[in-house]
Every structure is written in structure tokens, then in C-alpha cells.
Amino acid sequence: MLKILDKYIIRKFLTTFFFMLGVIMLLSMVFDLSERLSEFIDNKAPLSAIVFDYYLNFILFYGNTFSSMIIFVSVIWFTAKMAQDTEIIPMWNSGKPFHRFLRPYMIAATILMLISLVMNHFVLPKSNQKRLSFEEKYYRESRSVSDYHAEYPGNQVVYFSSFTTEEKIVNNFVLEQWDDKNKISYFLKARTATNIEGTNNWVLNDYFERYIGYPNDRIIEGHQKDTVFKFNVDEMSQRDNVAEAMTFSQLKSFIKREKEKGSANVPMYEIELYQRTSYPFATYVLTIIGVSVSSRKKRGGVGVNIALGLGIIFIYIFAMKVTTVAAINVGFPASIAVWVPNIMFGIIAYVLYRFAQK
């Protein structure tokens, strides 16, 4: 059963968090709007789409992404303020152990962690679909791909030299079909290839194809050919953040297909998958650290605690970037990489908790 002290701290925790979240998101929107306004006007983006399709989902995405950091700053801020106002000293004098003082913090952290988990796995994929669709339509620059190479299911290898979303034409398209004995059985080359939007239907121009293998070896050339492949151009020109708009099951299937193609972006997609769970759990670690470093009254006031908190945040972000780079470029398992910062700072949180004021 919650005591008056528990309710007081939980209320302070949640109100400080949502206040800081609102301020930070408002400032973020202002800066983003100042940068994008001319593009919105040039592309005649409707006001309703800007507000509801873009900025509403902008707040949901970035607010949730940085929620752990905002939680940490919130804990530092109001706990240090309580310490400076001599609100914590009577709690120590009452004989309550530190873990009892920590309990309402962990209750509030659990509430926010569960909200973040639900957002990551159920709300944000659909929300991001609307946001990314808006970006594609009103201010994203055209996508371009060069020197593409991928292996598709069915032992098909695809190459092309260039593609842009403005022209919607694939240049120097090549497809090779390999058999189970690792020998090429079919070769196709076209000067240009155009994918019929929303389908797997293609139109090839100035094409050359060869069926390889005795006695059916033959060559066919022509000016234009309609055909169907097992892929479309959207799979070849995806943005790096395409995984943000996928549900858990969709992302799992997408990663499996990308592995079969030999895509170099698989670690990046796996990081997106696993961090949907790891990031919310950082709330616990950062809450314990925040309480441990700010519950003691310091001579320099609240500013010292805030500076210390920002320093820890920068180190935490740096650790996340290092492990992400290791997963993408070095081959470090993504499922482990996303949890390493939590484990490292979990150890730091335990040490600080042990030496915190009793």
C-alpha cells in the first residue's frame, strides 16, 4: 500500500517528466518547423497533414525515443531540488533505509517503462507509417541507389548500376539464375528496367537473355519485354529508417528476407528490432543512478547535479553509439550490442546505490 511519501514522490516524478517532455518536444517542433517550413509551402502540404500526420507522430516517436534520457534528467532535477530544500534529511532521520526511499521511484519508472514498451511494439509502427509517408510526399529528397547487388530467394542474383525515385528507371539491369549445383542456368541483361508501381511486373528495354545448358542453350534479344520477378523496386531502394514503420512480426520477416539477399543493412534492422525492448529497460538503470547521485545535498546546488547528470547521459549515448557501430561494421551480435550499455550502466548503478547516502 502506498504511503503519503510514495504518492508525493511518484507525483513529483511523473509531473516533472511530462513537463520536461512537453518543453523539449515543443522546442524540437519549433526548430524542425523553422527548417522544413519552406519545403512544406513549396510542396503545398495541407495544414491538417502537417499537424496530425507529421507533428503528432513526430512527438510520439522522438518523445518515446528520448524518454529514458528525459526520465534521468527529471529524476536528477526534482531529487536534487528536494535535497536542497532539506526535504530528504527528515526521511533519513526517520530511520527508513535507502531502498525504501527508492521504492516510489521504481514504481513511477515501471509505469513509464511499460508505456514505452507498448509504444515501441504496438503504437509507433503505425504512427511511423503516417510520419514517413508524409516525409516521402512533402519534403524527403529523392532516393538514389548505385552499384546495387543482392541475392534473392530462389538463387537469383540481381545487379544494376543506378536508380533514382525521380526517374523510376533502373539502368543496366542484370539478373542471374543459379541452379543447385552452383552453376548459372539463366542470364538476363537490359539497358533499362521499369517496375510497374505496386506490383512485381517489370518492363525491360533493349534486353538480352540466355538460357544456359545443353541441349536447350539459346539466346533471345529484343527491344521490349514484359515480365514478372519475385521482387519490386521498393525493395531495392529502401530508406535506412524503413524498419521504424514495421510491426514486430513484419520486421522479423523483413530481416529474414534481407539475410537471404545478403543485405549489408541486416545488423541495422536487427538493432531496431532489439532496442524496442532494451531502451525502455534503461529507465530502471538511469532512475537508480539519478537518485543515487542527486539525493545528497551539494554545496554547488542543483546545477552541480544537473551537470553530473548530463555528463552521464553523454557517456551513455556514446556507449550506445559504440556498440551500434560494432554491430554494423564489426559483426558484433545486435541482440547483445543493444543490451551492453544497460549492463555497463547497471553495474555503475549498483555501485552508486551501494555507496549512496544511507
Per the model's pLDDT, the better-predicted residue between 231 and 29 turns out to be 29
**All 3 cell numbers of residue 292?**
543515487
Residue 343 CA: distances (Å) to CA of 107, 110, 211, 304, 316: 21, 18, 55, 26, 11
Cα distance between residue 301 and residue 80, in whole Å = 8
Q: What is the pLDDT of residue 142?
A: 64
**Confidence band (pLDDT; 50, 70, 90) for 104?**
very high
Residues in a beta bridge with 33 = none
The answer to whether residues 125 and 17 belong to one domain is yes
Domain-embedded: residue 159: yes
**All 3 cell numbers of residue 46?**
495541407
The answer to whether residues 134 and 148 belong to one domain is no
The answer to whether residues 47 and 135 belong to one domain is yes
Residue 140 CA: distances (Å) to CA of 13, 40, 49, 62, 232: 38, 11, 15, 18, 21
Domain-embedded: residue 106: yes
Least confident of 110-114, 213-217, 275-279: 213-217
Q: Is the pLDDT of residue 254 over 70?
A: yes
The answer to whether residues 12 and 131 belong to one domain is yes
Per the model's pLDDT, the better-predicted residue between 208 and 96 turns out to be 208
Domain-embedded: residue 129: yes
Q: How many of the other CB atoms lie within 10 Å of CB of 182?
A: 7
- The percent of residues above 70 in pLDDT, for the chain, comes to 94
> pLDDT tens, 11-56?
999 999 999 999 999 999 999 999 888 888 888 889 999 999 999 9
User: Last residue of some domain: 184, 219, 238?
Assistant: 238
The answer to whether residues 36 and 96 belong to one domain is yes
Q: Among all chains, which residue has been given the C-alpha cell 547535479?
A: 305
User: pTM of the full predicted structure?
Assistant: 0.80
The answer to whether residues 40 and 113 belong to one domain is yes
Domain-embedded: residue 46: yes
> pLDDT tens, 175-217?
999 887 788 889 999 999 999 988 899 999 999 999 988 777 8
Side chain identity, residue 218: R
Mean pLDDT score of the chain: 86
Q: What is the pLDDT of residue 293?
A: 84
DSSP 51: I
Domain-embedded: residue 252: no
Least confident of 27-41, 256-270, 328-342: 256-270
Domain, as residue range, for 175: 144-238
